[in-house]
Structure 1
């Protein structure tokens, strides 16, 4: 019997949208594919994406949480080599178009800025899918809006807090948010 990959054990293989919360400890200059060399100040970043292909959220998160190993395919792969993943916010069951609505929510946040225009958004009309924050963003202010993005078949917002030096989701504390209230903390030990 094959063992489950513990890094992905807490995530469903369903399609959905997500926000990857990253921390970059110091300013970096990073070559980002066709976007060229870009400056990334120290601080917090939110990358918005969708996972509607094979493996769904589990497969896409596994790639992003792997630390940028392997050949870079997406813009985020270049940044992941310099920034640590700290949280993963997921909306299981949300349609792919919700990715753009989620990016628009972050773009409207007064605390957010766009550090690199077109980052993660080369195939859509969004200004960017990467947003910079001076302080760590919190899911509570957005929870009601995010739950609405999931649509009728979607689940509540799930937030995984990642350990400092590992992306082991099976051990990560998880918080589940409904549109009206926070449902509670799960330890990650299943």
Structure 2
């Protein structure tokens, strides 16, 4: 199993309020969000398959903050960017210029968030790819 850092690009089709478990409610605008996580456990990048199952409604468990967004009706994963064998989760998140969703996905580090709103810009995917590349080169 390959492990490393990944970023899910998640499309939210309409504005809504989502309760992220103990982190509470967040009002989210329609558009694309980037959630950056790490997969260094025994399953490695198979964690991404689990995220896809939550987004498709095949899996109901809410273990991580991102599960609450993925489990919302209509959300879908539009792209996944991976950096194999690179522990760059925080560095990637901090490089994204979008609007941070405070307190989400970063409970095990000193970051404010690992979920960033990128609006409706198609350039956001390129920004995520550049963030992975530049973090790998640090």
Distance 1:48 1:120 in 2: 8
Distance 1:53 1:149 in 2: 21
Normalization by structure 2: what TM-score? 0.85
Structure 1 residues without counterparts, runs of 5 or longer: 1-12, 152-190
Matches within 5 A, 1:25-64: 25-57=13-45, 59-64=46-51
Aligned counterpart in structure 2 of residue 65 of structure 1, from 34, 47, 52: 52
Normalization by structure 1: what TM-score? 0.63
Larger relative helix fraction: 2
Matches within 5 A, 1:16-165: 16-57=4-45, 59-66=46-53, 67=55, 69-82=59-72, 83-95=75-87, 98-106=88-96, 109=97, 112-114=98-100, 116-134=101-119, 135-136=121-122, 137-139=124-126, 141=127, 143=129, 145-150=131-136
Q: Deviations over 1:97-153 (max 9, x none)?
A: x111111111xx2xx001x311001121111000001223122x56455235346xx
Distance 1:100 1:148 in 2: 12
The structure showing larger relative contact order (alpha-carbon pairs under 8 Å, at least 6 residues apart) is 2
Q: Does 1:15 align with 2:3?
A: yes
Q: CA deviation at 1:31?
A: 1.3
Q: Is the 8 A contact 2:60 2:71 kept in 1?
A: no
Q: Is the 8 A contact 1:22 1:87 kept in 2?
A: yes
Q: Is the 8 A contact 1:44 1:133 kept in 2?
A: yes
Distance 2:13 2:131 in 1: 30
Structure 2 residues without counterparts, runs of 5 or longer: none
Q: Number of aligned pairs?
A: 130
